[in-house]
Amino acid sequence: MRRLEPAGLADLAEAYAYPDTAPWLRGNMVASADGAATFEGKAGGLGNEADRRLLSLLRGLADVVVVGAATVRVEGYGPVRPGEWWGDIRTGRAPAPPLAIVSRSLDLDLDAPVFTEAASRTIIITCAAAGEDRRRGCAKHADVIVAGEDAVDVAAALDALAERGLTRQLTEGGPRLLAQFVAAERLDELCLTVSPQITAGDAARIIDGPGSASTRLRLGHVLEEEDFLFLRYTRRVDDGGAS
């Protein structure tokens, strides 16, 4: 074992740069020390200012931010806005990445700022079962991708985003959507903030879905600030430890 010393955040953009492999799906989640993905129903209650800065940076590095519709509703999502301190990390790209919302039911407030104030047109990912009329209505406010028949096929959804040139992919969950990506063996990287608090209760873990799946990970780095740990893992792709 070795002691982990506090690390500065000045070189975050380099530390979290996407690999050349494309497409690449990065998950960013926060959990309490006892494993809860939310506090009082929201993930936002677990973070601190450093966590919010990292969240902003990861968004700036990404081509697209993928999130479940339930998380949009619960967390009160707005559009992704450019970070004043992003510098040149988005040179040659739109000022901010689009938000891609995964929704089978299309139970969405299409007049919300996440659609009306987005710097890059919001994307809705749904399935054929949502119905043509509903999809047509959503298409007036967002780009619509149909992936799957009775349910959203998350692997097909990621492929469709990549076909649009959105290969540096970031998902912020929630836990059920992240579970689907893991089950489909499409999660390449996990960035996990460990919050220095115990919440108890029955909150879900960061990955919460039916069945079980095992993905071996390689630790990329650990950063620390104000007792928060910022872990970056990548998926191992063979027993020899390559990732």
What are the average pLDDT values for consecutive 10-residue runs of the chain, which has 243 residues? Answer: 47 90 95 90 82 92 96 90 87 95 95 94 97 95 97 97 98 93 95 93 85 84 92 79 41
Name the domain count of the chain. Answer: 1
CB atoms closer than 10 angstroms to residue 73: 15
pLDDT in tens, 29-55: 999 999 999 888 777 788 888 888 899
- Domain presence at residue 171: yes
Q: How far apart are CA 148 and CA 127, in angstroms?
A: 5
Q: Are 169 and 21 in contact (CB under 8 A)?
A: no
Which residue segment(s) compose the domain that 144 sits in? 21-235
Q: Would 16 be classed as within a structural domain?
A: no
Q: Is the residue at 33 inside a domain? A: yes
Residue 11 maps to a domain: no
Query: How does pLDDT run across 201-218, given as a tens digit for each residue?
Result: 888 899 988 767 778 999
**Strands ordered across the beta sheet of 228-235:** 143-146, 123-126, 99-102, 64-68, 168-171, 24-32, 189-195, 228-235, 217-225
Q: What is the model's pLDDT at position 188? A: 97
DSSP string, the chain: --PPPP--STTHHHHTPPPSSSSEEEEEEEEETT--S-BTTBGGGG--HHHHHHHHHHHHH-SEEEEEHHHHHHHT-------TT-TTTTTTS-SSPPEEEE-SS----TTSHHHHS-SS--EEEE-GGG-HHHHHHHTTTSEEEE--SSS--HHHHHHHHHHTT--EEEE---HHHHHHHHHTT---EEEEEEES----TT---SS--SS-----EEEEEEEEETTEEEEEEEE--STT---
Model's pTM, two decimal places? 0.91
State which amino acid sits at residue 150.
D
**12 occurs within a structural domain:** no
- Token pair belonging to 117: 């104030």
State the CATH number of the domain containing residue 50: 3.40.430.10
Q: Is residue 59 part of a domain?
A: yes
What does the pLDDT read at residue 210? Answer: 74
Residue 242 lies in a domain: no
Within a domain: residue 177?
yes
